[in-house]
Amino acid sequence: MAKKNIFNGERTEKYDYLVTKEQPLSYTAESFQKVLINLDYANIDGKHKVIQFTSTLASEGKSTFVSNMAYLLGNKGKKIILMDLDLRKPKLNRVFNSTNRDGLTDYLSDKIDYEKLIRHSDEFGIDYIVTGEKTTAIVNILESQKLKDLLNKLRESYDYILLDTPPVIAVSDALYVSRITDGVIFIVGQNTAKKALVKEAINTLKSNHVNILGIVLTQVSLKNGAYGYGYDYSYKYE
């Protein structure tokens, strides 16, 4: 989990710390549970299996958020797989303390088979896919039929396929991914991206006919003035 020292402003990254696992009774964990309830309502007919997570800019808590959601969904008996589709700056391997070898790009280029692609974390009870060997052909991969075929295959085995993808403003990758997903959850880090940029990112998604399932506010400042990783959920951004 990304942590911030409120006294000196330093920020350290520790992605393998899932607050929903380590502090299940905390305010933050409870906030995640509320998001989960809203997701259940949004997916009441079970039509949303492939869900994309994106944000306006980097450092808005996206990878931390999707990892905790995967853990909670798995705890509720759902079969979950988490896929890192941020091929430029992968982070999910850090959650599981694994390398990026033998991942998505390796599978799509026929260097490994399906069984080797899928990994499992006994600690978190989550299946996951890392990015694999670095490549410059990112758009080709995101638009490939082989990626679509992989997602269709995963649909047969999993209740949810959660995709961690790059921010909307930084690169166009998130828009390419949105074409092959059932919906998007948009992450907004409080005081990270300016309101104008957030609106621009959301309007970009809407203009590309992306199904926005909800918007999550992360890194919320608590009422007592302390900095916390609180979460709030809504269906629109004002």
Domain borders along the chain are 32-234
* Contact of 197 with 87, CB cutoff 8 Å: no
Hey, which bits of 102-166 come out as E strands? 119-121, 126-129, 160-164
- 57 with 193: CB under 8 angstroms? yes
Q: For 169-207, what is each residue's pLDDT tens digit?
A: 988 999 999 999 999 999 998 878 889 999 999 999 999
User: Strand, coil or helix: what is 37?
Assistant: helix
pTM of the model: 0.87
Quickly state the pLDDT bin for 13 (edges 50, 70, 90): low
- For residues 132 and 103, give the distance between their C-alpha atoms in angstroms, rounded to a whole number: 4
The predicted pLDDT at position 91 comes to 92
pLDDT for 220 beyond 90:
no
Q: What is the pLDDT of residue 145?
A: 97
Closest CA to 1 of 218, 226, 198: 218
- 129: nearest Cα among 159, 152, 106: 106
pLDDT at position 18: 92
The CATH homologous superfamily of the domain defined by 32-234: P-loop containing nucleotide triphosphate hydrolases (3.40.50.300)
Lowest pLDDT segment from 118-122, 174-178, 220-224: 220-224
pLDDT category, 105, cuts 50, 70, 90?
very high
Q: What is the pLDDT of residues 142-178, one digit of tens each?
A: 999 999 999 999 999 999 999 999 999 988 999 999 9
Q: How far apart are CA 96 and CA 93, in angstroms?
A: 5
Average pLDDT, the chain: 86
